[in-house]
Amino acid sequence: MIVKIILGDDMSKTVGMILCGGFGKRLRPITEKIPKPLVEMKDGYTILDKQLFDFKNAGIDEVYLLTGFLSEKIKERYGEEYKGVKVNYVIEDEPLGTLNAIRLGMEAIGPNKQCIIRNGDVVADISLKKMVELGESSDYQVSIFVTQMQSPYGIVEMSGDRLVAFREKPMLDYYINAGIYFVKGNLDFAEFDIGDIEKTLFPALAKENKLSYYKEDGLFWMAIDTSKELETIRKEYANREDKPWGYEKILISTDKYLTKELFIREDYQTSFHYHEKKDETMFIVSGSGYIEFEDYKNYFSKNDTIRIEPGVPHAIVAMENTILHEVSTPHLDDTIRIKDFYTR
């Protein structure tokens, strides 16, 4: 069998596509009345909110929601436009698997387009902008985001006839399909009509050496499929707020000091801002970049420490994915933005 991928001339605009039609059976009874993408990770903030937010901040302002089960609930929440993103709906009357849903989505977006396709239950801090940029310049027409597999169980280490160590759910030397795909051009689905694209078309493309991958190690990634995973994601978001450039998470908050974790994606930056009262010290956990002040830049890399006094305007710029811990005096809302680089 030969699988064809047809390329066109006008593929400058990338659209988003989200698979939202599943029944979410393992999350019942929650998903008896709402589709899984509308499950809240925290009060008022759904899985689909996060995905649309990430599309917007990657410069993708048109999204097709591939719906089925309880599609009216999704349309009721998002309408035709959601926070600057144009929303279209493709309804699959009969559930025939992800392959048929994507086929319908491809027909809806029209010929010669490129798109990012996401599973509707995946929460990930991936840089969609970078995935698109690399996909556009690649010789491959289809690429899959892969992430390192974490063991679902703790493991033991052995030496001779002894157990020498216990490791709690370590990262393994394997990668898994992380449920986000970049497609450049029109897919020919060959003889495949129904079923899941991960079990039909993608293995065929891989066999013919027509399938690439994209990876960013060390990112938060989770597919929310069970109540245990939902509990985990809700713990993650208890003190976390997604930002156009990444996220901000409160680690410690007392009367005397505040500790936050900031994740800034490669080639993104915070607003240019200052704090009236907050005196902060930044510890670079991983990554590299620079603090941009009014008249100079202070470059940083892993294990560096930078202090910023109150009243000093600055922005944090990441040259690669960066995690830093910000220890400061306890002023949660003491931020004066001078210039924003994203639509809020």
Q: Which structure tokens are listed for 180?
A: 């986000």
d(CA 245, CA 318): 9
Tell me if 329 is assigned to some domain.
yes
pLDDT at 116: 95
Q: Are residues 227 and 248 in the same domain?
A: no
273 to each of 46, 244, 334, 335, how far by Cα in Å? 29, 15, 10, 7
Q: Which structure tokens are listed for 111?
A: 């010929």
Tell me the angle at which helices 47-57 and 71-78 cross, rounded to the nearest 10 degrees: 50
Count of domains forming the chain:
2
Tell me if 344 is assigned to some domain.
no
Q: Are residues 248 and 230 in the same domain?
A: no
Tell me if 166 is assigned to some domain.
yes
pLDDT at 237: 95
Tell me if 138 is assigned to some domain.
yes
d(CA 209, CA 196): 20
For 150, residues 6+ apart whose C-beta sits below 8 A from its C-beta are 169, 170, 171, 172
User: In angstroms, what is the C-alpha Rg of the chain?
Assistant: 22
Q: Are residues 320 and 191 in the same domain?
A: no
Residues of the chain short of pLDDT 70, as ranges, are 1-12, 331-332, 343-344
d(CA 280, CA 264): 17
Q: Which structure tokens are listed for 42?
A: 């925290």
Which of 188, 218, 236 is the C-terminal boundary of a domain? 236
d(CA 61, CA 215): 23
- The CATH number given to whatever domain includes residue 100 is 3.90.550.10
Give the domain range for residue 273: 240-339
Tell me if 214 is assigned to some domain.
yes
Tell me if 148 is assigned to some domain.
yes
Helix H or strand E encompassing 178: strand 171-184
Q: Which structure tokens are listed for 102?
A: 């994507």
d(CA 57, CA 59): 5
Q: Are residues 221 and 246 in the same domain?
A: no
Q: Are residues 28 and 142 in the same domain?
A: yes
Find out whether the peptide bond into 29 is cis, omega within 30 degrees of 0.
Answer: yes
Q: Are residues 178 and 249 in the same domain?
A: no
For the segment 246-281, what is each residue's pLDDT rounded down to a tens digit? 999 999 988 888 899 999 999 999 999 988 888 899
Which of 194, 212, 236 is the C-terminal boundary of a domain? 236
Q: Are residues 211 and 258 in the same domain?
A: no
pLDDT at 230: 92
pLDDT at 33: 87
Tell me if 176 is assigned to some domain.
yes
Any idea what DSSP says for residue 151?
Answer: P
Tell me if 254 is assigned to some domain.
yes
Q: Are residues 138 and 169 in the same domain?
A: yes
pLDDT at 331: 67
Q: Are residues 208 and 75 in the same domain?
A: yes
d(CA 76, CA 105): 20
Q: Are residues 317 and 295 in the same domain?
A: yes
Q: Are residues 62 and 184 in the same domain?
A: yes
d(CA 324, CA 16): 30
Q: Are residues 216 and 260 in the same domain?
A: no
pLDDT at 233: 94
SS3 169: coil
- The CATH number given to whatever domain includes residue 259 is 2.60.120.10
**Whether the Cβ atoms of residue 284 and residue 257 lie closer than 8 Å to each other:** no
Which of 236, 268, 287 is the C-terminal boundary of a domain? 236
Of how many residues is the chain composed?
344
